[in-house]
């Protein structure tokens, strides 16, 4: 659920007000100080389920990127400067046993690099990745060859070999599209990420 959640008090009052047939959504919203759309959604929920449940906070379920994991990721990224966020996510999954969102990775990397992470750009990274794969040095294959999850990290989940194959399958159309194009607009030749 996005936005501000209803308090237990507001939810109890809303349940009582929805039982009164003469009140419109607009009037209920005015009484509670919430949006009409919220009342409309909660009315639909009330009519289908017979109550208004408390929505769980999904942010509490997300795994945290600890400073140790971030340090490992930055060290790995220095060795693989053409790595995209998907690659970083796969690194954290296979080497640290963490399931972290791309948004979290992007935010933490940007903080670590002082806001200069995106300076080289995605286009240059894709070009560098293409050159790396032509040399037979795929990031996905390197991660697959490396040992799995560290025992010092919190994850007991082992890396599955299917992850690397899935990434390679997803990258195949991109590699073909880049192979057909001699030069992409906005990417001068020879501008590789460092």
pLDDT digits (tens, 9 = 90+) for 37-96: 999 999 999 999 988 888 765 555 566 788 898 899 889 888 887 788 888 888 998 888
Q: Which of 112, 81, 83 is nearest to 194 (CA)?
A: 81
Can you give the pLDDT at residue 154?
42
* Tens digits of residue pLDDT in 119-143: 556 677 777 778 777 877 777 777 7
Instruction: Please give the Cα distance from 98 to 108 (Å, whole number).
Output: 14
Question: Has residue 117 got a pLDDT over 70?
Answer: no
pTM value?
0.42
Can you give the pLDDT at residue 182?
43
Q: Which of 11, 58, 2 is nearest to 39 (CA)?
A: 11
Contacts 24+ apart (CB under 8 A), 173-179: 174/126, 175/130, 175/133, 178/126, 178/127, 178/130, 179/130
More confident residue, 65 or 189: 65
* Tens digits of residue pLDDT in 137-184: 777 777 777 665 544 444 444 444 444 555 566 566 656 655 555 444
83 neighbors 105 (Cβ within 8 angstroms): no
Can you give the pLDDT at residue 119?
56
Q: Which residues of 4-17 are buried (b: 16+ CB within 10 A; e: fewer)?
A: eebeeebbeebeeb
The CA-CA-CA angle for residues 8, 60, 147, to 5°, reads: 165
Mean pLDDT of the region 28-44: 92
């Amino acid at each position: 659920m996005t936005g501000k959640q209803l308090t237990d008090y507001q939810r109890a009052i809303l349940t009582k007000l929805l039982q009164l047939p003469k009140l419109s959504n607009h009037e209920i919203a005015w009484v509670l100080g919430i949006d009409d759309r919220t009342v409309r959604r909660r009315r639909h929920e009330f009519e289908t389920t017979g109550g208004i449940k408390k929505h769980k906070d999904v942010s509490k379920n997300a795994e945290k990127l600890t400073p140790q994991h971030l340090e490992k990721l930055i060290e790995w990224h220095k060795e693989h400067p053409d790595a995209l966020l998907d690659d970083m996510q796969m690194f954290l999954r296979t080497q640290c046993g963490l399931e972290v969102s791309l948004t979290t990775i992007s935010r933490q990397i940007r903080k670590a690099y002082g806001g200069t992470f995106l300076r080289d750009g995605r286009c240059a990274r894709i070009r560098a990745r293409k050159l790396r794969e032509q040399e037979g040095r795929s990031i996905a294959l390197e991660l697959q060859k490396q040992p799995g999850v560290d025992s010092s990290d919190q994850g007991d989940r082992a890396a599955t070999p299917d992850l690397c194959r899935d990434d390679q399958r997803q990258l195949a159309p991109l590699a073909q599209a880049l192979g057909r194009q001699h030069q992409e607009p906005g990417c001068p030749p020879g501008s590789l990420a460092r």
